[in-house]
C-alpha cells in the first residue's frame, strides 16, 4: 500500500493560509496593504480583543467592482499582476492574490465595497472560505473588510495566539510601521473602542513620526538624504541622544514596503560606532528607494524580507548617508527640569505645537552671528581645585605629565607615525596645553572637521569646575556644562581620525603565516574581493580544497592575535552584504584610537590647570559638532536661562 495521500483542497488551503496569516497583526498588515494598493488616502483600523474576535479595515480607495467580488477571495486571484514577466518588477505591495483567500479560509469575512463609477456597493459574506451571500447595498466609495472569529476553525493555530494585550501590541506595531511607510495616508487605529493612533496624512514624514513616537522623539532627529548608483536613501535617524535599548525603533522601507533587512541594520549600526554606547541601538525611519527590478520581494511568505541584486550598494548607501549625518550633527543634550510647578519640558509649548526638531534648523542659522570681537571677551579667573594661577605657556608645562603619558600611548599606534603629512612642529608660544597639541595643532587651522563650520568664539565666562569633572561655562544666555574628560577625548579622537582617514598603512610581512579555514560562502567572498583585502595591506594565498586562507602579510596596525578574527569578520560581512572592507578597516583603526584618546584625555576627578580647562571650553564653544565622546556619552549639556527662570518661578 502506498503511503502518499493527496490532500484535499481545503487542507491545502489551510496550509497555504498558515504561511500568510499567523496572527491578527498579519491580517491587519495584509488588509492595510490592499488599501494602500487601492490608492486610499485614509485608512481606519479597528480591532477588539487583540483582533481575535473582531478586526475591521476601511479605506476610501478604488473599491472592488461587483463582478470581481467573488474572485477576490479565490487563491491566485489578483488585479496587480497578469503574467510571469510582471514578477520581475513589482510596483504594488500585494501581487500573489493570496491574502483574502487565506484570511477568509480561517475566519468569517465580510467585504463591503463600492467603486466610484458603480451605482451601488456590494456586500459579500464568507465563512471558512465559502461564500455564503453576495448582495447589493448602499455604501460610500471604498472598501471595508471585517474579519471575525479568527482561526475558529483551526484550533492548532488558535491555541498559539497570545494574550489579547500581546496581540493588540503586535497589531499596533504593524499599524505604526505602515503609517510611517506612507505619510500621505491618514491612518487611524482604534482598539477596544479607544483611539490609539492617528496620523494626519499630510505627506510630511516628520509629522507622522511625531504622531507615532511623540514629541521628545521627534525633537531629536537628523534628516537623511543620499543617492548612490540608483539607490536613494531618505528619512530620519534618531541623533546620538535619541538611541534605544532595543531595535524596535528601527524602520526600513524598501520602495515604501516595511521589511527586515540585515544589510540595512548592519549599515546603520556600523555607522553609529563611536556615536553610541555599546548596549544601545540606533532609531530610524529610513526609506530605501530602488528600481523595482533590482529587488526581489517574492522571497518570503509574508514579504518581510527581500533580496537585492546588489546588497553592497544598499549597505554603502545607508552607511555613508547615516555616517555623514552623524558627523555633521550639532545636536547637544539640553538639561530640563522635570519637577516644579510647570514641567520645563513643556515650556512655552501648547500641547500640539508643530513638531519641529532642532535638527531641522539649518546649521547656518546658528553659525550666522556677529563677527568675533576680541575686546568683548570677559575672562573671569577660573577657580579650579583651588588653583588660581592664570596660565602661561610655562605654567601649562606643569600639567603635561599626564598627557605626556598619553602621548606615549598614542605613539604606539603605527599609522600615526608613518602618516604622509607629519604634523608641523609645535609653536612654543602657542596655547595648546595637551599631549595632543601636535595633533590638534595640525588640524586647528582647517578645523577638526571639514563640513561643519566652526563658530566664532562667543563671549564666555567659566563659572567653575564641579567635582573636578564638569566645567560650567556661561555664554549667550545659557550655561554649558562640559564633561571635561568626554570632551577632550572626542577632540583627540577626531584629530587622530582625520589623519588616518586617507592613510594607507605600511604592511607587515609575517614570518610565520596565519592560517584560517572559512565556511564556503565566506571563502568565496574572500576570493571575489581579493583586491580589496590587498588594498588595505593583506597578502594571502587560498586553497580551494581545504578552504584555507594562508595570510602572509597584514596591515601593520593590526595586532597579530586579532588578525584571524578580523579577517573572518570581514569575510562574513562581505558574504552576507553586511559590511565593506574599507569601513571595517576604519572601524578597527578607530577602536585603536578610542583607547589612545581615552588614555590621553584629561581625567574626571583630577585637577587641571585653568589654561587646560579653557582650552577644552573654547573647543566646545567653537566646534558645534562636538556632541558625544567616542563611547557615545554626551560631551556637553546645556541649561538655558529660560529653563532656570521657570524653575524659580520668575516666568
Ligand atoms: N481594499 C481593497 N480595495 C480595492 N481592491 C481590493 C482591496 N482588497 C482587495 N482588493 C482586490 O482583491 C484582490 C485580491 O486581494 P489579495 O488577496 O490581498 O491579493 P493581492 O493583494 O496579492 O492582489 C486584489 O488584487 C484587489 O484587486
Ligand atoms: Mg493583498
The residue from 198, 219, 243 where one domain ends is 198
Gap between the Cα atoms of 411 and 287, Å rounded: 43
CATH no. for residue 18?
3.30.565.10
HEC readout, 58-77: EECCCCCCHHHHHHHCCCCC
In a domain, 257, yes or no: yes
Ligand nearest to the CA of 38: 1
Q: How far, in Å, from the CA of 24 to the mean position of ligand 1?
A: 18
Which one of 45, 72, 117 would you pick to mutate in the ligand 1 pocket, going by the greatest count of ligand atoms within 8 A of its CB?
72
Burial (CB < 10 A; 0-12, 13-18, 19+), residue 256, is: middle
pLDDT of 375 > 80? The answer is no
Q: If you average pLDDT over every residue of the chain, what do you get? A: 81
Residues 570 and 607 in one domain: no
Q: How far is CA 222 from the centre of its chain?
A: 10
Domain for residue 344, yes or no?
no
Query: Which ligand is nearest to the Cα of residue 143, counting in written order?
Result: 1
Name the residue of 33, 44, 79, 131 whose CB sits within 8 Å of the most ligand 1 atoms, as the mutation to test its pocket: 79
Nearest residue (by CA) to ligand 1, atom 20, is 97
How would you write 574-591 as a 3-class SS string? HHHCCCCHHHHHHHHHHH
> 404 pLDDT exceeds 70?
no
Specify whether the CB–CB gap between 133 and 124 falls below 8 A.
yes
Are the CB atoms for 414 and 634 separated by under 8 Å?
Answer: no
**Nearest ligand atom owner, CA of 73:** 1
**Does the residue 4 lie in any domain?**
no
Residue with cell 491580517: 27
User: 64 C-alpha vs ligand 1 centroid, how far in Å?
Assistant: 8
Residue 462: pLDDT above 50?
yes
Q: Of all protein residues, whose CA lies closest to atom 8 belonging to ligand 1?
A: 34
Same domain, 587 and 603: no
How many structural domains comprise the chain?
Answer: 4
* Pair (54, 190) in one structural domain: yes
What's the CA-to-centroid distance between 142 and ligand 1, angstroms? 12
Pair 124, 30 in one domain:
yes
Q: Would 355 be classed as within a structural domain?
A: no
Q: What is the mean pLDDT of residues 450-474?
A: 90
CATH of the domain at 613: 3.30.1540.20
For the stretch 644-648, contacts whose Cβ atoms lie closer than 8 Å and that sit 24 or more positions apart, written own/partner, are 644/479, 646/337, 646/340, 646/342, 646/344, 646/347, 647/337, 647/340, 647/344
pLDDT beyond 50 at 400 = no
Domain shared by 264 and 372, yes or no:
no
Same domain, 160 and 307: no
CA distances from 353 to 203, 220, 348, 651 (A): 18, 15, 10, 20
In this structure, what is the dihedral angle of CA atoms 333, 338, 343, 344, given to the nearest 10 degrees? Answer: -30
Residues 162 and 261 in one domain: no
| Residue 504 pLDDT | 59
Looking at the CA of residue 100, tell me the nearest atom of ligand 1: 17
pLDDT given at position 85: 87
Write the pLDDT tens digit of every residue in 124-172: 999 999 999 999 999 999 999 999 999 998 888 888 999 999 999 999 9
**Unique residue bearing C-alpha cell 496550509:** 15
Assigned domain for 193 exists: yes
Using a CB cutoff of 5 Å, list residues around ligand 2, an ion: 34, 94, 99
Atom of ligand 1 nearest to the CA of 92: 21
Q: For residue range 285-333, list pLDDT tens digits in order.
A: 999 999 999 998 888 888 888 888 888 899 999 999 999 999 999 988 8
Kindly state whether residues 404 and 544 are assigned to the same domain. Answer: no
Judge if 217 and 301 occupy the same domain.
Answer: yes
Q: Residue of the nearest CA to atom 12 in ligand 1? A: 72
Atom number of ligand 1 nearest to Cα 95: 22
569, 478: one domain = no
Q: Specify the DSSP element, H or E, that contains 194.
A: strand 194-198
Whole-number Å distance, alpha carbon 11 to ligand 2 midpoint, is: 21
Q: What percent of the chain has pLDDT over 90?
A: 55
**Residue 339 within a domain:** no
Query: What is the residue range of 513's domain?
Result: 507-594
CATH number, residue 548: 3.30.1370.100
Q: How far is the CA of 96 from the centre of ligand 1 (A)?
A: 10
pLDDT digits (tens, 9 = 90+) for 83-137: 888 888 889 998 888 999 999 999 999 999 999 999 999 999 999 999 999 999 9
- Do both 169 and 220 map to the same domain? no
Say yes or no to pLDDT of 75 above 90. no
Listing DSSP states for 10-26 in one string gives HHHHHHHHHHH-SSHHH
| 588 and 603 fall within a common domain | no
Query: Does 116 map to a domain?
Result: yes
Mean pLDDT of 465-492: 94
Q: Which of 175, 198, 221 is the last residue of a domain?
A: 198
- 254 Cα: distance to centroid of ligand 1 (angstroms): 21
Q: What is the mean pLDDT of residues 427-433?
A: 29
Q: Is the pLDDT of residue 176 over 60?
A: yes
pLDDT at 281 over 70: yes
> How far, in Å, from the CA of 58 to the mean position of ligand 2?
14
Is residue 348 included in any domain, yes or no?
no
- Name all residues whose Cβ lies below 6 A of ligand 1: 30, 34-35, 38, 59, 61-64, 72, 77-80, 94-101, 143
Ligand nearest to the CA of 297: 1
Residues 626 and 490: beta-carbon distance below 8 Å: yes
Q: 429: exposed, middle or buried (C-beta count within 10 Å: 0-12, 13-18, 19+)? A: exposed
Residue 428 pLDDT exceeds 60: no
**Among candidate residues 164, 198, 232, the one where a domain is terminated:** 198
Amino acid at each position: 500500500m502506498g503511503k502518499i495521500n493527496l490532500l484535499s483542497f481545503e487542507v491545502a488551503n489551510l496550509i497555504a493560509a498558515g504561511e500568510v496569516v499567523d496572527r491578527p497583526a498579519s491580517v491587519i498588515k495584509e488588509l492595510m496593504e490592499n488599501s494602500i494598493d487601492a490608492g486610499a488616502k485614509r485608512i481606519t483600523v479597528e480591532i477588539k480583543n487583540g483582533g481575535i474576535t473582531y478586526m475591521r479595515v476601511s479605506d476610501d480607495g478604488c473599491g472592488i467592482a461587483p463582478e470581481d467580488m467573488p474572485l477576490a477571495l479565490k487563491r491566485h486571484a489578483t488585479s496587480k499582476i497578469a503574467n510571469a514577466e510582471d514578477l520581475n518588477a513589482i510596483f504594488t505591495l500585494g501581487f500573489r492574490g493570496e491574502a483574502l483567500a487565506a484570511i477568509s479560509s480561517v475566519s468569517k469575512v465580510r467585504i463591503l465595497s463600492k467603486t466610484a463609477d458603480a451605482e451601488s456597493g456590494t456586500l459579500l459574506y464568507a465563512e471558512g472560505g465559502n461564500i455564503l451571500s453576495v448582495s447589493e447595498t448602499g455604501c460610500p466609495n471604498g472598501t471595508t473588510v471585517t474579519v471575525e472569529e479568527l482561526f475558529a476553525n483551526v484550533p492548532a493555530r488558535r491555541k498559539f495566539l497570545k494574550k489579547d494585550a500581546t496581540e493588540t501590541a503586535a497589531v499596533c506595531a504593524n499599524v505604526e510601521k505602515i503609517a510611517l511607510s506612507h505619510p500621505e495616508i491618514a491612518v487611524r487605529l482604534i482598539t477596544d473602542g479607544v483611539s490609539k493612533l492617528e496620523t494626519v496624512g499630510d505627506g510630511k514624514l516628520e509629522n507622522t513620526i511625531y504622531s507615532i513616537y511623540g514629541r521628545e522623539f521627534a525633537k531629536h532627529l537628523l534628516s537623511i538624504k543620499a543617492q548612490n548608483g540608483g539607490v536613494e536613501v531618505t528619512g530620519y535617524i534618531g541623533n546620538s541622544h535619541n538611541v534605544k535599548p532595543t531595535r524596535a525603533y528601527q524602520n526600513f522601507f524598501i520602495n515604501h514596503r516595511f521589511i527586515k533587512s540585515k544589510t540595512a541594520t548592519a549599515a546603520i549600526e556600523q555607522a553609529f560606532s563611536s556615536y553610541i554606547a555599546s548596549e544601545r541601538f540606533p532609531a530610524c525611519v529610513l526609506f530605501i528607494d530602488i528600481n523595482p527590478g533590482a529587488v526581489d520581494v517574492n522571497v518570503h511568505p509574508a514579504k518581510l524580507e527581500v533580496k537585492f541584486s546588489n546588497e553592497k550598494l544598499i549597505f554603502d548607501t545607508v552607511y555613508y548617508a547615516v555616517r555623514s549625518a552623524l558627523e555633521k550633527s550639532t545636536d547637544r543634550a539640553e538639561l530640563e527640569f522635570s519637577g516644579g510647578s510647570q514641567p520645563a519640558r513643556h515650556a512655552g509649548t501648547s500641547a500640539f505645537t508643530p513638531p519641529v526638531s532642532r535638527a531641522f534648523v539649518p546649521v547656518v542659522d546658528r553659525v550666522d552671528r556677529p563677527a568675533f570681537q576680541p575686546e568683548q571677551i570677559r575672562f573671569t579667573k577660573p577657580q579650579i581645585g583651588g588653583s588660581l594661577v592664570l596660565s602661561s605657556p610655562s605654567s601649562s608645562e606643569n600639567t603635561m605629565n599626564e598627557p605626556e603619558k598619553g602621548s606615549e600611548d598614542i605613539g604606539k599606534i603605527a599609522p600615526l607615525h608613518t602618516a604622509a603629512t607629519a604634523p608641523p612642529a609645535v609653536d612654543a608660544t602657542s596655547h595648546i596645553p595637551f599631549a595632543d597639541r601636535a595633533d590638534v595643532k595640525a588640524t586647528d587651522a582647517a578645523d577638526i572637521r571639514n563640513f561643519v563650520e566652526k563658530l566664532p568664539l562667543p563671549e564666555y565666562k567659566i563659572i567653575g569646575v564641579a567635582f573636578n569633572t564638569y566645567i560650567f561655562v556661561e555664554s549667550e544666555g545659557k550655561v554649558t556644562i562640559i564633561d571635561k574628560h568626554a570632551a577632550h577625548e572626542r577632540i583627540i579622537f577626531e584629530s587622530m581620525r582625520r589623519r588616518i582617514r586617507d592613510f594607507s598603512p605600511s604592511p607587515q610581512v609575517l614570518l610565520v603565516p596565519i592560517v584560517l579555514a572559512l565556511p564556503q560562502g565566506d571563502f568565496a567572498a574572500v576570493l571575489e574581493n581579493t583586491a580589496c583585502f590587498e588594498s588595505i595591506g593583506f597578502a594571502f594565498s587560498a586553497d580551494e580544497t581545504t578552504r584555507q586562507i594562508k595570510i602572509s602579510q597584514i596591515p601593520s596596525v593590526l595586532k597579530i592575535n586579532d588578525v584571524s578574527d578580523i579577517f573572518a569578520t570581514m569575510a562574513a560581512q562581505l558574504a552576507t552584504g553586511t559590511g565593506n572592507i574599507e569601513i571595517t578597516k576604519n572601524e578597527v583603526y578607530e577602536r585603536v584610537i578610542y583607547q589612545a584618546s581615552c588614555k590621553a584625555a584629561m581625567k574626571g576627578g583630577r585637577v587641571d590647570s585653568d589654561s587646560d580647562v579653557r582650552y577644552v571650553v573654547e573647543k566646545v564653544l567653537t566646534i558645534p559638532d562636538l556632541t558625544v565622546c567616542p563611547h557615545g556619552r554626551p560631551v556637553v549639556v546645556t541649561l538655558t536661562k529660560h529653563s532656570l527662570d521657570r524653575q524659580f518661578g520668575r516666568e
